[in-house]
Structure 1
Amino acid sequence: MDENNGLLLLELNPPNPWDLQPRSPGELAFGEVQITYLTHACMDLKLGDKRMVFDPWLIGPAFARGWWLLHEPPSDWLERLCQADLIYISHLHSDHLSYPTLKKLAGRRPDIPIYVGNTERPVFWNLNQSGVQLTNINVVPFGIWQQVDKNLRFMILMDGVHPEMDTCIIVEYKGHKILNIVDCTRPNGGRLPMKVALMMSDFAGGASGFPMTFSGGKFTAEETPI
């Protein structure tokens, strides 16, 4: 209501957060940016003199032994993780938040900076029970640039369908944007940067923890899927 008891209508059209403090793309030397696929959703980004790793599931199973890695990671995966300046973990599913992988990492470098979004369902809700000793987990708000150095920054965004859990990320190096939508169904509600240098997306949908076992109830001995 306005001061005259009338109805005041407002159209909410907030600016895109990545457009705040804009930067024009700068020149890049050959080899200055290197992006390496390790396995599954794990990517190793070398951006100038910084290294960033996404979703390191590099050892062991996921989803109660229902999933195993399709592609064998490089033999030096642990050294690559230990050399990273920061790690981004998108959400709590065990093919992205891999406690077996993080346990190996924590044994060598427990203070490595790890960044997650401030989701309603915390990414590391089970950290204490896992026994993994990590000491530098950073929960950051959505839609805010996180400055790594003068050339590198990143921003975590929520999913529009599963905002309580899923996130995606924009990484910007010298004005060049890299968008990784990870497992988001509708990343940031469908509002994304129009011009990015590289987009990473999922390759499958509707996944499950197959093979699964059901017993009891309506499942008879003959009908029980295994």
Structure 2
Amino acid sequence: MTITRENTDGIRALQGLEDDRSSVRLRAALAVGTTPDPRFVDTLIERCAIEPEFLVRDMLTWALTRHPVSMTLPALVREVRSERAQARSQALHTLSKIGDRQAWPAITRALLADADDEVARSAWRAAVVLVPEGEESALAAVLATQLGRGERETQLSLSRALVALGEVILPALHAATTAPGERVRAHALATQRLLRDPDTGFEFAIDEAKRVVALGGSGQAGG
């Protein structure tokens, strides 16, 4: 059996993904994506689950998007059920980048409410990309159950996901403005504001919403 130059380069790149130096791993991921080979898909996905550096993870995702969807999609769908939070998060992130709606059934309610904030945020982003036409309202209702969750960064991610769905989110937001929890009401109000005025900064919108809620506002301030 003849070992080609391409095979040798591929093996070297895969070995580079395990190097202690992040710069070497980054170059290796670039190399694998530049010359896609279906045999590398499982290794790329496994590396996504443990890679500590954001830039390298992003390059791994790019490398996966360069491979045939028929090879990556089934493996990524399996990965979103992993016990490892980073594995779930990165698989969801990659599915959002691939953008193939065949992956939609994998975006479960459990993932949208995952206890790990990074997994949930990745699930929200993937959901708004993959949701089939006509199911946006149902998705908005599920996403609205997460209003008030986490710190500012997590709340901003949810608001962006909801706003990306458009005006179908208004009934779910309206219901949330009368919820018992002040954090939920404020987050719903801030998201309404962002939908009406996308140029409004989230910090301003959430702080204004908190003032409205603290003053006992109806939840419909500003119109």
Global fold match (TM > 0.5): no
Higher relative CO (CA 8 A, sep ≥ 6), structure 1 or 2? 1
Say which structure is richer in helix.
Answer: 2
Say which structure is richer in strand.
Answer: 1
Under a length normalisation based on structure 2, what TM-score does the superposition of the two structures give? 0.27
Under a length normalisation based on structure 1, what TM-score does the superposition of the two structures give? 0.27
